[in-house]
Chains A and B, each alone.
Chain A
Amino acid sequence: MTDYIKYLLSPFILVLHAWGMALGGAYAWVGFAVLMWILCFDAFLKPSHHIRDTRYPWIYDAVITCTVLACFANIFFYAYLAGNGHFVGGAAQTGAFLGTVMIGFVIGAPPVHELFHREGLALRTLGRIGQCLVFDPWREITHVVTHHMHTATPTDPDYARRGDTVYGHFTRTFPGQWKESYHLEKMMWTKRGRKWYDLRNAWVFKVAYFSLFLAVLFSVGGLVGGGLACATLILGPRMQLEVFNYCNHYGLVSATPGRFKKHHTWNHLTPFTRILALEITNHAGHHDDSYKPFYELAPDEIGPKQPPFILCVIMAFIPPLFMMAMKPLLKDWDDHYANAQEREIAARENTRAGWDELNNDSSNLNSGAMALA
């Protein structure tokens, strides 16, 4: 039964964060502090290859459903408190804000992602509406259709090529996703012979529930509370998700779009990251069968691995550090995972990034790669 209990960690942190915010003052930092402490502690743990108990899947589903609902409650609560001047002083305001940002990303986004991949109508609908928590009701369509179909190729807006910084990635990925969302939505209404404004179009539903979400947020928090809550969602789940995407396929190469192989993604398999991120960092399994629930994903023990999750996210904001960590890993990937065609693409990508040393067989970067992995 311990497997089922593990996934209560996310709602537990949410409750702690809400409790801390309710108390105010220095307690507003509780959620943020606990979450960061767990992630930092996790960075020192060995990868876990444990397969989850799947005898009672409904328990997992109940937990993540409650987590999504609790995340809605949490953001409304934050908007209410922030809008009513509950947080006195910069420290309390900062703690509550940062906590809501990071918890929105680490705890709010994974169950939303999990649920919009589900097949059942109820859970999938909750996942779709849950996209309000990542401040983008269109995130699903470009993710499920484009990202999963074009993994590790530049035609996927979520993909970062070798040498790309996270800041450059932001400027490309958002416009790329918006363009792709429009293209896919247009394809759906055009093929069905509908006008763009037809009320049956999917985008109408998305606009409707997102507008309702914003209306509730601003009505409970006013202009200040609603605005701050939106800011936490934009800076947290919305932007950090792109940092996650930036890291998770960084520099990898697929020569056969639509034919995912397990080496087309990095994995982060430390125990608490797996639990908090609902196994999404167990990424090869997810791409291998994106309809497989998180508790059925088997970790890829021999697949490419990045440094611990929290370290990757932090390093991504310091490009020289991130590149320094990634180059040996990519060299190792080229030498041990890529097929012949992918190696040739990788070599050209190295040149494009100005990393010709990775194309040198005598490069001693490999030893570093093994150490980091």
Chain B
Amino acid sequence: MNDVRAQRNLAAEQICSVSVGDSNKDGFSVNRNDMLLKAALDQGIDYPHNCRVGVCGQCKTKLISGKVTPMVDLALSPLTNAEIESGYFLACQGKVRGNINIEIKLGQHHVVPEQQVAGRISLWKRLPGEVIELRIALETPFQYEAGQYGFLAESGSFVRRCFSFSDAPPAEAGVGATEVGFLIKRLPGGQFSEWLFKEDRTGLKMWLHGPYGVMGIDDADTSGICVAGGTGLAPVLSILEQRLSSSAHAKFVVIFGVKFANELFAMDKLAALQTRFPGRVRIIPIVSHEPENSTWQGARGLVTAPINEQLGVDFSSVAAFVCGGLPMVNAVEAKLIAMGMNPERIHADKFMPTG
């Protein structure tokens, strides 16, 4: 009898409860020493994630109480030092050592499964600002969500880089795109971008692996501010088109920043959305390094400059979709919060140029 009781006690010790925030409804149990993300996914829990190997940072979770051991030094993860010191860890790398209480938004979105699809370049077009518009006609339809990204590799090459989709995905649920578009900036010395820029690559076979990332999830009818730095415009275009199509009312302000006026690219795509959805899209191109004496009549400065009361936006009720380099996104987030925006409504994609 004592043995049975001892076994029960042991079993009880091996099971750890995971409570989510103050709510009891999202709690679940895992075995002690299980990897949190894997244990959650194995139970069918919609836990935000993507790469599962500590690279994308999508499973970032705040530990409120209890003990979780990271498998690799968190300083080698995408988490910032401030986040690490605030108790954040990556669920894909965190082993649960006891009962824990965490802060995470479960069930944010339906996870699109990974796909590895071949296709051929159907459009290779140079745009201003050393940007290539690349379109790939796929052999098999590819499912993704607005704001997500995928890895591109030339057939036969080890070299692959990730880029955000610039199109809205097909409106019908479960239907994949047969052609996908990207906006790719040339990075001097970058293996992939230098190869791509060298000559017209139309017709070449490519591989697409993904999708990854979560950026565009918010209430469908919510109006928003989109802030894009350089080719950060790609996911913004995707989100913008998708949200404009799925809502009859939502309105958007797009702040699009580049260094010089002659580097403004894809303005035709933004204009096309303005025409297609009259009165619902306002575009503010802004240049940061344009010479004072140039003929540019538009806004000057950093993308944070137009974010003020004159923008005519009720910051407390809209969502923001921000994409660009890390410092830019951090600055925009800080400005939006200072203007009264709820941090949870800021959806950001911070990228590091890898070329």
Chain A interface residues toward B at CB < 8 A? 119, 144-145, 149, 153-155, 184, 187-188, 191-193, 202, 253, 255-259, 291, 339-341, 344-345, 347-348
Contact of B116 among A119, A339, A348 (CB under 8 A): A339
Contact of B158 among A144, A145, A259, A345 (CB under 8 A): A345
Q: B279 at interface (Cβ–Cβ under 8 A)?
A: no
Check A191–B75 contact: CB distance below 8 A. yes
What residues of chain B lie closer than 8 Å to A345, measured between beta carbons?
156-158
Q: Tell me the nearest residue of chain B to A291, going by C-beta.
A: B71
24 A-B residue contacts at CB 8 Å?
A119-B33, A119-B69, A149-B55, A154-B158, A155-B158, A188-B73, A188-B75, A192-B75, A192-B81, A193-B81, A253-B158, A255-B207, A255-B209, A257-B160, A258-B51, A291-B71, A341-B116, A341-B118, A341-B207, A345-B156, A345-B157, A345-B158, A347-B156, A348-B157
Task: Tell me, in angstroms, the Cα distance from A191 to B85 when the chains sit together.
Answer: 11
Q: B53 at interface (Cβ–Cβ under 8 A)?
A: yes
What residues of chain A lie closer than 8 Å to B69, measured between beta carbons?
119
Check A149–B53 contact: CB distance below 8 A. yes
Chain B interface category by residue count: 20 to 34
Q: B193 at interface (Cβ–Cβ under 8 A)?
A: no
Contact of A145 among B72, B116, B207 (CB under 8 A): B72
What residues of chain B lie closer than 8 Å to A153, measured between beta carbons?
158
Question: 6 additional contacts, CB 8 Å, given A255-B209, A345-B158?
Answer: A188-B75, A188-B76, A193-B81, A256-B151, A341-B118, A345-B156
Check A187–B116 contact: CB distance below 8 A. no
Interface centre among B33, B73, B155 (most CB of A within 10 A): B73
Task: Tell me, in angstroms, the Cα distance from A155 to B55 when the chains sit together.
Answer: 15
Check B95–A119 contact: CB distance below 8 A. yes
What residues of chain B lie closer than 8 Å to A258, measured between beta carbons?
51, 53, 55
Q: B80 at interface (Cβ–Cβ under 8 A)?
A: yes
Check A341–B158 contact: CB distance below 8 A. no
What residues of chain A lie closer than 8 Å to B313, measured between beta carbons?
none
Check A119–B80 contact: CB distance below 8 A. no
Task: Tell me, in angstroms, the Cα distance from A314 to B183 when the chains sit together.
Answer: 50
**Smallest CB separation, B146 vs chain A (Å):** 24
What residues of chain A lie closer than 8 Å to B118, measured between beta carbons?
340-341
7 shortest interchain CB distances as A-B pairs: A348-B156, A188-B75, A191-B75, A258-B53, A344-B156, A344-B155, A341-B207
List residues of B (204-250) whose CB comes within 8 Å of A's CBs.
205, 207, 209
**Smallest CB separation, A250 vs chain B (Å):** 15
Task: Tell me, in angstroms, the Cα distance from A257 to B54 when the chains sit together.
Answer: 12
Check B209–A256 contact: CB distance below 8 A. yes
Asked whether A255 and B156 contact (CB < 8 A) given A145-B72, A187-B75, A193-B81, the answer is no
What residues of chain A lie closer than 8 Å to B177, measured between beta carbons?
none
**Smallest CB separation, A358 vs chain B (Å):** 14
What residues of chain B lie closer than 8 Å to A187, measured between beta carbons?
75-76
Check A144–B81 contact: CB distance below 8 A. no
Task: Tell me, in angstroms, the Cα distance from A257 to B151 when the chains sit together.
Answer: 11
What residues of chain B lie closer than 8 Å to A119, measured between beta carbons?
33, 69, 71, 95
Chain B interface residues toward A at CB < 8 A? 33, 51, 53, 55, 69, 71-73, 75-76, 80-81, 84, 95, 116, 118, 151, 153, 155-158, 160, 205, 207, 209
Task: Tell me, in angstroms, the Cα distance from A87 to B69 when the chains sit together.
Answer: 49
What residues of chain A lie closer than 8 Å to B153, measured between beta carbons?
255, 341
What residues of chain B lie closer than 8 Å to A202, measured between beta carbons?
73
Task: Tell me, in angstroms, the Cα distance from A256 to B209 when the chains sit together.
Answer: 8
What residues of chain B lie closer than 8 Å to A256, measured between beta carbons?
116, 151, 209
Interface centre among B71, B75, B116 (most CB of A within 10 A): B75
Asked whether A144 and B116 contact (CB < 8 A) given A255-B153, A255-B209, A258-B53, the answer is no
Task: Tell me, in angstroms, the Cα distance from A149 to B52 when the chains sit together.
Answer: 11
**Smallest CB separation, B330 vs chain A (Å):** 15
**Smallest CB separation, A137 vs chain B (Å):** 15
Task: Tell me, in angstroms, the Cα distance from A340 to B71 when the chains sit together.
Answer: 33
What residues of chain A lie closer than 8 Å to B160, measured between beta carbons?
255, 257
What residues of chain B lie closer than 8 Å to A339, measured between beta carbons?
116
Interface centre among A153, A253, A258 (most CB of B within 10 A): A258
What residues of chain B lie closer than 8 Å to A340, measured between beta carbons?
118
What residues of chain A lie closer than 8 Å to B207, measured between beta carbons?
255, 341
Interface centre among B69, B76, B80, B160 (most CB of A within 10 A): B76
Task: Tell me, in angstroms, the Cα distance from A191 to B78 when the chains sit together.
Answer: 10
Task: Tell me, in angstroms, the Cα distance from A202 to B156 when the chains sit together.
Answer: 39
**Smallest CB separation, A161 vs chain B (Å):** 9
What residues of chain A lie closer than 8 Å to B95, measured between beta carbons?
119
**Smallest CB separation, B14 vs chain A (Å):** 15
Task: Tell me, in angstroms, the Cα distance from A345 to B53 when the chains sit together.
Answer: 23
**Smallest CB separation, A291 vs chain B (Å):** 6
**Smallest CB separation, A350 vs chain B (Å):** 10
Check A341–B81 contact: CB distance below 8 A. no
What residues of chain A lie closer than 8 Å to B151, measured between beta carbons?
256
Check A191–B209 contact: CB distance below 8 A. no
What residues of chain A lie closer than 8 Å to B84, measured between beta carbons?
191
Task: Tell me, in angstroms, the Cα distance from A192 to B75 when the chains sit together.
Answer: 7
What residues of chain A lie closer than 8 Å to B80, measured between beta carbons?
191
**Smallest CB separation, A203 vs chain B (Å):** 12
Task: Tell me, in angstroms, the Cα distance from A348 to B205 when the chains sit together.
Answer: 14
**Smallest CB separation, B217 vs chain A (Å):** 24
Task: Tell me, in angstroms, the Cα distance from A225 to B160 when the chains sit together.
Answer: 49
**Smallest CB separation, B114 vs chain A (Å):** 8
Task: Tell me, in angstroms, the Cα distance from A153 to B160 when the chains sit together.
Answer: 11
What residues of chain B lie closer than 8 Å to A348, measured between beta carbons?
156-157
Task: Tell me, in angstroms, the Cα distance from A347 to B72 when the chains sit together.
Answer: 35
Q: Tell me the nearest residue of chain B to A290, going by C-beta.
A: B71
Task: Tell me, in angstroms, the Cα distance from A119 to B205 when the chains sit together.
Answer: 43
Q: Tell me the nearest residue of chain A to B116, going by C-beta.
A: A341
Task: Tell me, in angstroms, the Cα distance from A149 to B158 when the chains sit together.
Answer: 14
Check B76–A145 contact: CB distance below 8 A. yes
